[in-house]
Amino acid sequence: MNKITLIAILLLFLSNCSLSKNPLNWKKEEVKLEDQQNITKVFTKDNVIQKEFNSDLKLDLSNIVLNNKIIDDKNNFGSQNYEGLLNKVGSYKFSKLNDFNQLNLKPVFFDNGLIFFDKKGSIIEYNKKHKVSWSKNYYSKTEKKLNPKLNFLITNKDLLVSDSISKFYSINLNTKELNWSKNLKYPFNSGIKKNKNKIFAVDYKNTLRCYNISDGSECWNLQTEDSFTISDSKYSLIIIEDMVIFSNSLGDVTAVDIDTGLITWQLPTQSSSIVNETYNFKISKLVSDGNSIFFSNNKSEFYSINVKTGIINWANKINSNIQSVISGNLIFTVSNEGYLFITEKNTGNIVRVSYLSEEYKEKKKKKVTPIGFAIGNKNLYLTNSDGKMTIVDLELGNIVETKVIAKNLISEPFIFQNNLYIIKNGSIIQYN
């Protein structure tokens, strides 16, 4: 090869490099939250990011669509109407729970107050002034000693309750009397969803069960593959049109016909070896925009799958087992290491990565994990396992404030009617 040939090859190489757009040099541009055409492909789904990326990228939030949802069949709460003053309004007191698990607790919110429970399983309704409107216990002396933890769902004028000791019952909210009560073989390990006259939940044996709302009789059940251990991660289910879609302890996602209980499609995401490792496996709640389903796990896998077919749209390497939030054409996720990922939902391309744990010392970073987050008008509110909440400017990705909520575990934040709520052991704190 002569010198002229070498020079020609070198010039061609330099020319190609100068014409390509280097995504790492993409600075101070804006991405519109509601306009996919303004999202440029900056990082492909085949790469793993373990540090900040495009940290100077600015999001345009001017067209953001706000809502005030606290219940959604698809777990799609999006950006919610909350100004973020973070002034403490008051707290709803209850007796402290044993083995407080911040991942599995959620109050029932309504216009005039909320409903929660205490250490012995008493159901408590509070008014807007944080006072108890009524309280009643539906357990025997023996059952109270087991310290049941309750899940709620309101349907019409009834309150449906499932608990950690295998009871399932319905309460008339007008009379406060039981409509019916069932003892199950295994407790539910998911929330409860409803569709018309049916309710759905998944038990600890990876079985999806369908019941009649009127009397609690079982319509059908679907057993998926069981594991040898009990997962400490709560399963998830969503309802889309005529399907109920749920996850189990093995990472399988299954779509089932609501009326027949027959499988429409099933997607295994893990190898068979995980059957004996499910205690350490954690999967996030499913969330959907109606076309795709998004979820992630602590095995550094983030998925988008097609609602109709269960086929994978894209998979990304993000290590997170907390629920994502969809807003416009972007999806927001916080990794277990404390990084905020903003991803284009249609392609899986990562737009920006911001580090949210920089204020922690190196030794403590490994001990602190994110619990959950919510998105308000302009800020993201992230709670952590050390009892602190990190407030992030969503437009710039900068930390605005770190607020101490409690000295130990707290729940994910809940936004309802322009107020933010966080559960700590013994109370639910309300901020305006």
Q: Is the pLDDT of residue 121 over 80?
A: yes
Ranked by mean pLDDT, the top range of 34-38, 116-120, 406-410 is 116-120
- Count Cβ atoms within 10 A of the Cβ of residue 277 and give its class: 0-12 exposed, 13-18 middle, 19 or more buried: middle
Of 48-62, 99-113, 226-240, which gets the smallest average pLDDT? 226-240
For the segment 51-77, the average pLDDT, to the nearest whole number, is 91
Residues in contact with 405: Cβ distance below 8 Å, sequence separation at least 6, in sequence order: 383, 387, 388, 389, 422, 424, 429
Report the C-alpha gap between 284 and 325 in whole angstroms. 11
Taking only the tens place, the pLDDT of each residue in 396-408 is 999 999 999 999 9
Tokens of 339: 């990084």
pLDDT of residue 21: 35
Tokens of 302: 């983030």
pLDDT of residue 15: 42
- Count Cβ atoms within 10 A of the Cβ of residue 26 and give its class: 0-12 exposed, 13-18 middle, 19 or more buried: middle
Q: Is the pLDDT of residue 272 over 80?
A: no
Q: How far apart are the first and last CA of the chain?
A: 74
For the segment 12-25, the average pLDDT, to the nearest whole number, is 38
Quickly state the pLDDT bin for 46 (edges 50, 70, 90).
low
For the segment 128-157, the average pLDDT, to the nearest whole number, is 95
Q: Provide the phi-psi class of 130: left if phi over 0, else alpha when psi is between -120 and 50, else beta.
A: left
- The Cβ-side half-sphere exposure at 75, using a 13 Å CA radius, reads 25
What percent of the chain is predicted at pLDDT more than 90?
73
Tokens of 381: 């509110």
For the segment 378-392, the average pLDDT, to the nearest whole number, is 96
Cross-strand bridge partners of residue 244: 239, 256
Q: Provide φ and ψ at 38, rounded to 5°.
A: -90, 5
Predicted model pTM:
0.88
Q: Is the pLDDT of residue 280 over 90?
A: no
Q: What is the 3-class SS of 163-228, one letter each residue? A: ECCCEEEEEECCCCCEEEEEECCCCECCCCEEECCEEEEEECCCEEEEEECCCCCEEEEEECCCCC
Cβ–Cβ < 8 Å for 391, 403: yes
Give how far Cα 18 sits from Cα of 6, 25, 43, 53, 419, Å: 19, 13, 19, 22, 51
Cβ–Cβ < 8 Å for 210, 192: no
For the segment 231-236, the average pLDDT, to the nearest whole number, is 76
Report the C-alpha gap between 409 and 425 in whole angstroms. 8
The mean pLDDT of the chain is 87
For the segment 275-284, the average pLDDT, to the nearest whole number, is 74
Taking only the tens place, the pLDDT of each residue in 310-350 is 999 999 999 999 999 999 999 999 999 999 999 999 999 99
